[in-house]
Amino acid sequence: ALALNTVAQTGPYVPTADNLAARKKFQELKFGLFIHWGIYSILGAGEWVMYEKKIPYDSYKRLAGFFNPQEFNAKEWVQFAKKAGMKYITITSRHHDGFSMFGTKMSPYNIVDATPYHKDPLMELAKECEKEGIELHFYYSLLDWGRPDYAFGSPIVDGKPQNGDWDSYIKFMKDQLTELITQYPAVKGIWFDGHWERKNANWHYDEIYGLIHKLNPAILVGNNHHLEPIEGEDFQMFEKDLPGANTTGFSGESKIGKLPLETCETINNSWGFNITDRSFKSSKQIIHYLVNAAGRDANFLLNIGPMPNGKIQSEFTDTLAIVGNWMQKNGESVYNTRGSSMPPQPWGVMTANGKTLYAHVTTSPAQAYIFIPQMKEKVTKAVLLNGGTAVKFKQQPEGVFIYTNGLAMDPVDTIVKLTVN
């Protein structure tokens, strides 16, 4: 009896019906806006600037005194995301520099108490998201470059104790997460990061995830740990990588699990605002990333780093307006779809919504056709999504040939809409 009891108490995480519904909803959103914004944005050299430039913590902290984003307007950000066709926002509530971008009672090192701005932009954003039907996730860093209770030495904080007070640090995180989950409307998820720095630390995930789900069972927990999902998580993320592609090595260790998937990438090469980074991705590259994620059954979370004044640079708004126009025309082949059972092909990927399938031809085929292997259902109709032109096809036991010769191919994505029974 004792053994059974023990099992019952520490048994596997069982997501509630609300949580499962939230996962399903999340999978249908498909396209989200990732935002890295903090006091580091002032220096315009990315969110790792403290570490990379070896700025001592006490000096770095002075940036808070200059952070005054007078032009921040939550409405503008949410409209920017909506116009781009995005359905959710994931924003840094606290990054590795340890600065809280929200009004926390757990540390004075936060935007309300330590900056001349004295306001809580995440509260504004949460209210606006709730109003506009945009889901909100909070990025939350597990690793902290400054707190003395974070139990590991830091290369930049001289004299920091190597054995902090780990219990105190874990409690601090739990208290902040409680604030984020109970005080902000619209918050639907927590996006953890920083695990990879201390892979062998005891992060107390059982307690942390347990607390989150106790406070709100529908909250979706994800963690950028580059491992297979850990007990208590609700979605699996891939950083700068498509699930199964393993191109960057960041997620090379992680096999695809059974949870909803999300892949994140940034619009240039930086997450936080970077004044010298002009390697902007084109609208075509972004659309291809989004379509490739959807075809692999994953959401795409595209990052931007807003400027320290609270504005979003025009290169980003221009590009994303084009992406938004594309989504307006072609959104039915992305939103609410799931990846099809067909693995990615040389010509592209497929998405599925019930009896409707979408072949996304993102690379024009060398032959006069594309081939869809192993199609079990019978194709009854094939048309171009744009304009409805009938497309010739031939179904064989080994798959379906879709004849693309003579079709007006779209340089971004030629979408063939198939009806199956």
- Is 226 or 296 the residue whose CB approaches ligand JFZ more closely? 226
The residues that touch ligand JFZ, with contacts defined as CB under 6 A, are 47-48, 193, 196, 224, 226, 239, 250, 271
Distance between first and last Cα of the chain:
52
| Cβ-closest position to ligand JFZ | 196
- Is 75 or 199 the residue whose CB approaches ligand JFZ more closely? 199
Pick from 114, 118, 71: nearest CA to 310: 71
- Is 270 or 283 the residue whose CB approaches ligand JFZ more closely? 270
- State the minimum distance, in angstroms, from the CB of residue 315 to ligand JFZ: 20
- Is 224 or 345 the residue whose CB approaches ligand JFZ more closely? 224
- Which residue type sits at 368? A
- Is 152 or 196 the residue whose CB approaches ligand JFZ more closely? 196
Residue 393 CA neighbour count, 13 Å, CB half: 26
- Is 47 or 241 the residue whose CB approaches ligand JFZ more closely? 47
- State the minimum distance, in angstroms, from the CB of residue 47 to ligand JFZ: 5
Q: How far apart are CA 411 and CA 393, in angstroms?
A: 21
Q: How far apart are CA 389 and CA 304, in angstroms?
A: 37
SS3 414: strand
Pick from 72, 79, 35, 40: nearest CA to 303: 35
Query: Of all helices (H) and strands (E), which one includes residue 326?
Result: helix 314-330
- State the minimum distance, in angstroms, from the CB of residue 250 to ligand JFZ: 6
Assess contact for 116 and 68: CB atoms under 8 A.
yes
- State the minimum distance, in angstroms, from the CB of residue 93 to ligand JFZ: 12
- State the minimum distance, in angstroms, from the CB of residue 42 to ligand JFZ: 16
- State the minimum distance, in angstroms, from the CB of residue 227 to ligand JFZ: 11
The DSSP call for residue 367 is S
Residue 70 CA neighbour count, 13 Å, CB half: 2
- Is 120 or 239 the residue whose CB approaches ligand JFZ more closely? 239
Q: How far apart are CA 233 and CA 209, in angstroms?
A: 7
- State the minimum distance, in angstroms, from the CB of residue 218 to ligand JFZ: 24
SS3 361: strand
